[in-house]
Amino acid sequence: MATGLAGAEAVAAALRLRSRLALVTGGGSGIGRAVCQRFAKEGAAVAVVDIDEGAATETLRTLHRDHQQHSVFVADVTSSESVRSLVSQIQSQFSRPPCVAVNCAGITMDSLLLKMQEEAFDRVLQVNLKGTFLVTQAVATALIASGAKKGSIINLASIVGKVGNLGQANYTASKAGVVALTKTSAKELARYGIRCNTILPGFIDTPMAAKVPQKVLDTVLRLVPMGRLGDPSEVADVCVFLASDDSSYVTGASLEVTGGLFM
């Protein structure tokens, strides 16, 4: 009996996100889905957020359940009204604001610089950069108002936001902006106990990567020392670290998950 109790306590201790509420945008697919799955296994209650309700619901069906509750929320991250409503709905359903937020929502609309339409440039920045700003602002505001003394905001950028990439002037600009936004947020929110960090994935095996022509992927893989695409779960593992107390003295950081690409 004592051995069984000790085992149960060990399992509970191993759940690094136990009793935490996490909001994950872009939770309907790719890295966002992997983050939701990993967080649920670590004991978090997960608010799966996506503009595609069907995709978010599919993610919900895959989540580990013990005693924690998970739920789907539909939101347009480019709309301040939608984002404020999202945080309000989450707070109403769970009786607390999310103490962890992961901004995974993102799109690509690729074209060479000389051919890129203004609408494509604007739309990518609206989703990738403005959306990250709005969610960060809304979650931080709710946490501060609640009197919570700690929180973790994790923003997904990209290694190409650091080095540039052919045909992605809009995407690379948006992801470079996410890094700068996160560093400023980290400086401003540290006094409230809210940490803000960025993850810079390389080429990860997601639906977004599936749109890349195979010839381009083959060229990229020759530049990756580890010789393969990353798995979404490998990005999710880093998100768990940044969401947990294991990274309690880490803020304003940019962690590369690239297999060594562009190091």
Q: Is 177 helix (H, G, I), strand (E, B) or coil?
A: helix
Domain count, the chain: 1
Residue 10 domain flag = no
Residues 201-211: what's their mean pLDDT?
88
Residue 11 domain flag = no
| Range(s) of the domain holding residue 202 | 17-257
Residue 263 domain flag = no
- Is pLDDT of 9 > 50? no
Residue 78 domain flag = yes
CATH at residue 248: 3.40.50.720
- Is pLDDT of 12 > 80? no
Residue 133 domain flag = yes
Convert the pLDDT of each residue in 100-116 to its tens digit. Answer: 999 999 999 999 999 99
Cα(158)–Cα(168) distance, integer angstroms: 12
Cα(49)–Cα(196) distance, integer angstroms: 19
Q: Are 155 and 196 in contact (CB under 8 A)?
A: yes
Residue 173 domain flag = yes
pTM of the predicted model, to two decimals? 0.93
Convert the pLDDT of each residue in 42-53 to its tens digit. Answer: 999 999 999 999
Residue 151 domain flag = yes
Residue 172 domain flag = yes
Q: Are 177 and 163 in contact (CB under 8 A)?
A: no
Active-site residue identified among 171, 201, 243, 257: 171
* Mean of pLDDT over the chain: 94
Q: Is 98 helix (H, G, I), strand (E, B) or coil?
A: coil
249 annotated active-site: no
CA distances (Å), 53 to each of 33, 78, 90, 156, 229, in order?
13, 16, 15, 21, 28
Q: What residue type is assigned to position 256 of the chain? A: E
- Select the more confidently predicted residue: 67 or 41: 41
pLDDT, residue 2, reads: 47
